[in-house]
Amino acid sequence: MSSVIQYILYLAVLVILAIPLGAYIKKVMSGEKTFLSRILTPCENAVYKVMRIKKDEQMNWKKYLISVLIFSGIGLVFLFLLQMLQGVLPFNPQGLAGVKWDLSFNTASSFVTNTNWQAYTGESTLSYLTQALGLTVQNFVSAATGIAVLFALIRGFTKVKTDGLGSFWVDMTRIMIHVLIPLNLVIAIALAGGGVIQNLKPAETVSLVEPIAVSADGEIIENADIDVDANTVTVDGQIIDGAQIVTEQFVPMGPAASQVAIKQTGTNGGGYMGVNSAHPLENPNPFTNILEMISLLLIPVALCFTFGMSIKNKKQGVAIFMAMFIMLAIALSIIAVNEQAATPQLAQNGAVDLSMVDQAGGNMEGKETRFGIATSSTWAAYTTAASNGSVNSMHDSYTPLGGMITMLQMQLGEVIFGGVGCGLYGMLAFAILTVFIAGLMVGRTPEFLGKKIEPYEMKWAVLVCLATPIAILVGTGIAAIVPSVPDSLTNTGAHGFSEILYAYSSCGGNNGSAFAGLNANTVFFNVSLGLVMLFVRFLPIIGTLAIAGSLAGKKRIATTAGTLSTTNALFVFLLIFIVLLVGALSFFPALSLGPIAEFFGSIA
Amino acid sequence: MKTLKSVLPRAAVIFLIFAILTGIVYTGVVTGIAQLIFPNQANGSIIEIDGKKYGCELLGQQYTDEGHMWGRIMNIDVSTYKDENGKMLMYAVPSNLSPASEEYETLVAERVEKLRAANPDMDDTAIPVDLVTCSGSGLDPHISPAAAEYQVARIAKARDISEQDVRDIIEKCTTGKFLGVFGEEAVNVLKVNLMLDGILQ
């Protein structure tokens, strides 16, 4: 019972905080006064001065697009080079070497596209400089880019007979200065107070309470008598030759809290640590956890309300929100039920206690005690709904059906809230698809928000909606026949296939979470997943801006009695139906080979 | 081409501005404030007594002594990290195993058997799930109160102290849910063991 209350409160807190933030973002983006204007507007103006641009500059859709692409391109090259050169650059107390070209390319694509897929392990691969000046910066600007493109689309709906969609530079500056930087300052400091590390010190070592014996070939020796002073390891009275005694533990250090804050709020998800927010130094307790978990969906939810207010049709924002929220709630319940029920393999005919008495119970493999089932399942649902991809438990160790839902949410194209900005413009493409199909059924020219939807918009909307399924299925298909791929798998059989499918779903949805048993740090995976991420990020951006440009040039048509309402329950239902239809038809065969096959195998 | 020429310098300048603002200024300000107000938390919550670092409160270790409390199953990694003298350091990673495979079933059965043998007083009591599973980080410092209670008899017997003494220590090392609702109750295994050893009060 108490866990049900927990689920409900997690959802309630999220929505309650998102509504005022949505109103705030709307004000910021239209240049209205807010309670922070007095401090922040001078900073905003200073940026315009340095850049020598005007606040009211208008770009047509092509110029807006070129600005997005060039800006992202600069970020890609910068991050690529920064990683390769980190060995000779400062703020590298562990003396880490430069990152290999394929991993650098993968990580650069990953962060520039707001995916934050982790083929790297932060604490053993990246210097503090790379973390702060590389990853943190891209976490901020890739998120801001997504929101900017969303606003270009919103202007496409609101403007009439013009080609100006606003200025990419002004949109970026406003989001960065008024929204992302102040919000993350507060969250980062709260996280550091909660126990997330934030320093520039080299890694620490601490004593182990019980030393560990390791054999000459690197295996842990169990049941050994260890004499630290004499430096001997004895098993059953026999001294083991060449055995080593480990007496200290590695404790990573560095500026984590500042990066964790933006990785959550910007739906980035790339962890400071390899195991992301499951790591106790990245997410030490339920307080830091709720902060991080709410942050990860906060802006995507808020933007639904921002959208409604910006097009002066709050009901439309609520309708889109409802469609997303219903799908999220269903996904969350399925994950929660499956994880709490665990598997027969873990239950051992009752020898293992899976009850909820004085413990979380359920499938605790890959989950932290302090988070248990409810908090882990909620995070899993949030992070795969939003294209965040940070984790506080290991999805690879979820039950077959629980894990399948996390995968399915990404395969639906990251439109259940999705990434900041991109989730909503993705969903609006589905909305265009929906009004078109509904229009066909009733025999009317489809229109959406007072703009006629014609073949040009339809073509681009279909491309935006299909980019993800194409990238995932083609990528998985190719990977499944590459001979070196099976060496990367931790699990075999159906679950092994799921590991590959999950990787391409994650990158194809710009999500970034993983079935982490897959060793993705190989040239094949780094390059192929890198290309998938770039494809699914930028094709929808091109499509969205093309639609925006075309819509802005059209006249507004009056609402009549025959206009299909896009704010009522019927529309919400149709929208959900279309999203599920595209997802289910595309992925049912692949899911049958992976999680569904595994599920039936496990209960057989 | 003309657009390209006008866009490129602007894109470079705005990238530079945001790189400095978020990469250097933002990271620096957060570090400064955190070090000033929360130095212990921001530096890794390390338990240091009389100059010796007895462990990191937030990182799990492996315990096998009968007189110590045991934690989550660990997947130990001694090859990734070395100290400056090249000596191996202990770290751990998650298993990433599917909980629905036959291999997993066998693995858990072995763990059950081992725990049964080590805790004869508990007879056939079902074993709390935390003790037979690997955590998400691989470094989980906690176990559930149920998993701690399961070990009380063994620890008391091995140390020749009363079960109540062990329970008192466990209670001191238990953290509740945030605001009474969020997350789970958790027992910090390192703290329990340092208290059992008399190092921590």
Both B93 and B163 in a single domain? yes
Residue of A499, A521, A509, A396 lying closest to A126 (CA atoms): A521
Residue of A105, A110, A62 lying closest to A84 (CA atoms): A105
pLDDT band, residue A247 (cuts 50/70/90): very high
| Residues A565, A566, A570: CA angle, nearest 5 degrees | 80
Which ranges constitute the DSSP H helices of A285-371? Answer: 286-310, 314-341, 344-347
Residues 6+ apart with CB under 8 A from A598: A400, A493, A494, A495, A498, B98, B100
- What's the mean per-residue pLDDT of chain A? 92
Residues 6+ apart with CB under 8 A from A64: A152, A165, A166, A168, A545, A548, A549
Structure tokens given for A44: 């905003």
Both B82 and B134 in a single domain? yes
Of B27, B68, B83, the CB nearest to A258: B27
pLDDT of residue B1: 67
pLDDT of residue A217: 85
Of A222, A246, A280, the CB nearest to B141: A280
pLDDT band, residue A509 (cuts 50/70/90): confident
Contact in structure between A99 and A135 (CB atoms under 8 Å): no
Which residues from B are below 8 Å from A246, CB to CB? Answer: 78, 87-90
Decide if A370 and B186 are in contact by the 8 Å CB cutoff. Answer: yes
- β-pairing, A447-448 vs B46-49, is unpaired
**How many CA within 13 A on the CB side of residue A265?**
28
Q: CA-to-CA distance for A269 and A261, rounded, in angstroms? A: 10
pLDDT band, residue A123 (cuts 50/70/90): confident
Contact in structure between A494 and A598 (CB atoms under 8 Å): yes
Read out DSSP for A180-243?
A: IHHHHHHHHHHHHHHT--B--PPPEEEEEEEEEEE-TTSPBPTT-EEETTTTEEEETTEEPTT-
**Plot region of A426 (φ>0 → left; ψ -120 to 50 → alpha; else → beta):** alpha
Decide if A366 and B31 are in contact by the 8 Å CB cutoff. Answer: no
Decide if A342 and B142 are in contact by the 8 Å CB cutoff. Answer: no
Both B8 and B81 in a single domain? no
Q: CA-to-CA distance for A232 and A240, rounded, in angstroms? A: 8
pLDDT of residue B34: 96
Both B139 and B169 in a single domain? yes
3-state class (DSSP) for residue A359: coil
In a domain, B98, yes or no: yes
Both B114 and B86 in a single domain? yes
| Residues A304, A308, A313: CA angle, nearest 5 degrees | 155
- Burial class (CB within 10 angstroms; exposed 0-12, middle 13-18, buried 19+) of A445: exposed
Chain A 176-195, CB below 8 Å of chain B: which residues? 176, 181, 184-185, 188-189, 192-195
Residue of A144, A136, A128 lying closest to A94 (CA atoms): A128
- Burial class (CB within 10 angstroms; exposed 0-12, middle 13-18, buried 19+) of A249: buried
Q: CA-to-CA distance for A69 and A66, rounded, in angstroms? A: 5
Both B74 and B12 in a single domain? no
- Calculate how close chain B gets to A272, using CA atoms only, in Å: 13
Average pLDDT score over residue span A159-184: 95
Residue with tokens 């641009």: A53
In a domain, B83, yes or no: yes
Average pLDDT score over residue span A141-165: 94
Which residues from A are below 8 Å from B54, CB to CB? Answer: 206-207, 209
Decide if B90 and A399 are in contact by the 8 Å CB cutoff. Answer: no
pLDDT in tens, B34-57: 999 999 999 989 999 988 999 999
Contact in structure between A139 and A35 (CB atoms under 8 Å): no
Number of domains making up chain B: 2
Q: Is the pLDDT of residue A168 over 90?
A: yes
pLDDT band, residue A510 (cuts 50/70/90): confident
Both B112 and B169 in a single domain? yes
Q: Is the pLDDT of residue A517 over 90?
A: no
Q: CA-to-CA distance for A499 and A490, rounded, in angstroms? A: 9
Q: Is the pLDDT of residue A420 over 80?
A: yes
Both B17 and B95 in a single domain? no
Average pLDDT score over residue span A55-63: 93
pLDDT band, residue A475 (cuts 50/70/90): very high
Both B24 and B100 in a single domain? no
Which residues from B are below 8 Å from A599, CB to CB? Answer: 100
In a domain, B69, yes or no: yes
In a domain, B95, yes or no: yes
- β-pairing, B76-77 vs B91-92, is antiparallel
Of A202 and A513, more confident: A202
Both B117 and B181 in a single domain? yes
For residue A497, the cross-strand partners are none
Which residues from B are below 8 Å from A58, CB to CB? Answer: none
pLDDT of residue B64: 93
pLDDT of residue B22: 94
Q: CA-to-CA distance for B103 and B96, rounded, in angstroms? A: 13
Q: Is the pLDDT of residue A334 over 70?
A: yes
pLDDT band, residue A218 (cuts 50/70/90): confident
pLDDT of residue A562: 76
Both B105 and B30 in a single domain? no
- Calculate how close chain A gets to B11, using CA atoms only, in Å: 5
Q: CA-to-CA distance for B194 and B55, rounded, in angstroms? A: 9
End-to-end CA distance of chain B: 72
Contact in structure between B99 and A363 (CB atoms under 8 Å): yes
In a domain, B44, yes or no: no
Which residues from A are below 8 Å from B147, CB to CB? Answer: 359, 369
Q: CA-to-CA distance for B131 and A358, rounded, in angstroms? A: 13
φ/ψ (deg, to 5) at A114: 65, 25
pLDDT in tens, B55-76: 999 999 999 999 999 999 999 9
Average pLDDT score over residue span A217-243: 87
Give the domain extent around B11: 4-39
Among all residues of chain A, which has the CA nearest to that of B32? A199
pLDDT band, residue B124 (cuts 50/70/90): confident
- Burial class (CB within 10 angstroms; exposed 0-12, middle 13-18, buried 19+) of A212: buried
Residues 6+ apart with CB under 8 A from A188: A198, A257, A258, A260, A261, A262, B30, B34
A292 touches chain B (CB under 8 A): no
Which of A551-565, B87-101, B163-177 is predicted least confidently?
A551-565
Which residues from B are below 8 Å from A361, CB to CB? Answer: 129
Residue of A436, A449, A382, A409 lying closest to A584 (CA atoms): A409
Both B90 and B159 in a single domain? yes
3-state secondary structure labels for all residues of A91-139: CCCCCCCCCCHHHHHHHHHHHHCCCCCCCCCHHHHCCHHHHHHHHHHHH
Of B4, B31, B81, the CB nearest to A198: B31
In a domain, B46, yes or no: no
In a domain, B52, yes or no: no
CA A45 from centroid of its chain's CA atoms: 32
- Calculate how close chain A gets to B183, using CA atoms only, in Å: 5
CA distances from A428 to A165, A466, B74 (A): 17, 14, 46
Contact in structure between A303 and A25 (CB atoms under 8 Å): yes
For residue B88, the cross-strand partners are B82
Residue of A59, A30, A158, A63 lying closest to A554 (CA atoms): A158
pLDDT of residue B123: 87
Structure tokens given for A113: 């596209």
Decide if A599 and B100 are in contact by the 8 Å CB cutoff. Answer: yes
- Polymer length of chain B: 201
pLDDT of residue A1: 61
Which residues from A are below 8 Å from B88, CB to CB? Answer: 214, 244, 246
Beta strands in chain B (DSSP E): 46-49, 52-56, 76-77, 91-92, 127-128, 142-143, 174-175, 186-188
In a domain, B49, yes or no: no
Average pLDDT score over residue span A61-68: 96
Residue of A485, A541, A488 lying closest to A510 (CA atoms): A541
pLDDT of residue A585: 85
Q: Is the pLDDT of residue B2 over 80?
A: no
pLDDT in tens, A366-419: 999 999 999 999 999 999 998 888 999 999 999 999 999 999 998 888 889 998
pLDDT band, residue A492 (cuts 50/70/90): confident
Average pLDDT score over residue span B102-110: 95
